[in-house]
């Protein structure tokens, strides 16, 4: 992912809302077993699926905490020099998504934390802004027609509590057992993780339609 002047300066756009800092934890550690190929580096919009996911988050967020595991060396080499990406290597990524989220939480130092995944390249920056403007003391889930998706926004207190919680069990279940709200949005991109060949082909077809 090329470090451009746009990427370096995007953070200035967020200063209209407050001096509070927000990071975005993005998981990129999985095996891509449903895809049958390494989905994160599949071509999309003249870059890759993961590059687009990172770019969308960095429009609002100060920094991305990128959790790597499977083929970690390749991602570390690709992003190590990016000034706004903090790499976290989850050596236990085979234990599942929850282990990657908890590994990333340990690196969080911001007032609020978005949590998303590297295979969600279509989330528009407006979704991040909508959640940010609604932030409070609870977890915020974006929802499209009643179905919750990503990114999820956590205040620092809940991020810290989640990091200290027992590792067993679902992260989402833990969040739903604590204060939370659902924020209705007008984009189904929050649900469109690209994790199968069929979804990738649909993604490319939609990209061609937009040209």
pLDDT tens-digit series, residues 78-90: 999 999 999 999 9
Angle CA(149)–CA(113)–CA(171) in degrees, nearest 5?
55
Tell me the pLDDT tens digit for each residue of 179-193: 999 999 999 999 999
φ, ψ of residue 63 to 5 degrees: the values are -155, 150
Average pLDDT over residues 95-99: 92
Read off the pLDDT band of 211 (50, 70, 90).
very low
Spatial distance between the Cα atoms of 77 and 148, rounded to a whole number of angstroms:
33
- The pLDDT value given to residue 168: 79
Give the residue with greater pLDDT, 97 vs 207: 97
Q: Does the structure show a pLDDT above 80 at 36?
A: no
- The pLDDT value given to residue 16: 41
- 148-163 residues labelled b (16+ CB within 10 A) or e (exposed): bbbbbbbbbebbeebe
Average pLDDT over residues 38-47: 94
Domain range annotation of the chain:
5-210
- The pLDDT value given to residue 2: 53
Average pLDDT over residues 105-109: 93
Q: What does CATH list as the number for 5-210?
A: 3.90.550.10
Read off the pLDDT band of 51 (50, 70, 90).
very high
- Report the chain's mean pLDDT, rounded to a whole number: 90
- 89 burial level (CB within 10 Å; 0-12, 13-18, 19+): middle
* Residues 6+ positions from 133 with CB-CB distance below 8 Å: 17
Q: Does the structure show a pLDDT above 80 at 12?
A: no
Spatial distance between the Cα atoms of 11 and 15, rounded to a whole number of angstroms:
7
- The pLDDT value given to residue 15: 42
Asked if 131 and 183 touch (Cβ cutoff 8 Å), the reply is: yes
Alpha carbon distances (Å) from 175 to 69, 115, 119, 159, 204: 24, 12, 21, 10, 33
- The pLDDT value given to residue 146: 95
Spatial distance between the Cα atoms of 107 and 104, rounded to a whole number of angstroms:
5
Read off the pLDDT band of 24 (50, 70, 90).
very high
Asked if 135 and 66 touch (Cβ cutoff 8 Å), the reply is: no
């Amino acid at each position: 992912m090329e470090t451009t002047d746009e990427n370096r300066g995007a953070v200035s756009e967020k200063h209209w809302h407050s001096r509070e800092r927000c990071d975005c934890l993005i998981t990129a550690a999985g095996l891509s077993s449903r895809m049958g190929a390494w989905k994160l580096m599949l071509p999309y919009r003249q870059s890759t699926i993961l590059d687009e996911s990172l770019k969308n988050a960095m429009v609002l967020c100060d920094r991305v905490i990128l959790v790597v595991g499977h083929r970690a060396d390749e991602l570390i080499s690709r992003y190590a020099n990016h000034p706004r990406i903090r790499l976290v290597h989850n050596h236990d990524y085979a234990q599942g998504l929850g282990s990657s989220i908890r590994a990333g939480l340990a690196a969080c130092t911001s007032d609020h934390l978005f949590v998303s995944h590297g295979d969600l390249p279509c989330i528009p920056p407006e979704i991040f802004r909508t959640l940010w403007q609604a932030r409070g003391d609870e977890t915020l889930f974006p929802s499209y027609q009643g179905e919750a998706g990503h990114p999820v926004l956590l205040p620092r207190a809940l991020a810290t509590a989640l990091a200290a919680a027992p590792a067993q069990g679902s992260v989402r279940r833990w969040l739903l057992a604590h204060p939370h709200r659902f924020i209705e949005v007008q984009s189904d991109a929050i649900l469109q993780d690209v994790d199968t060949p069929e979804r990738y082909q649909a993604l490319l077809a939609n990209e061609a339609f937009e040209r």
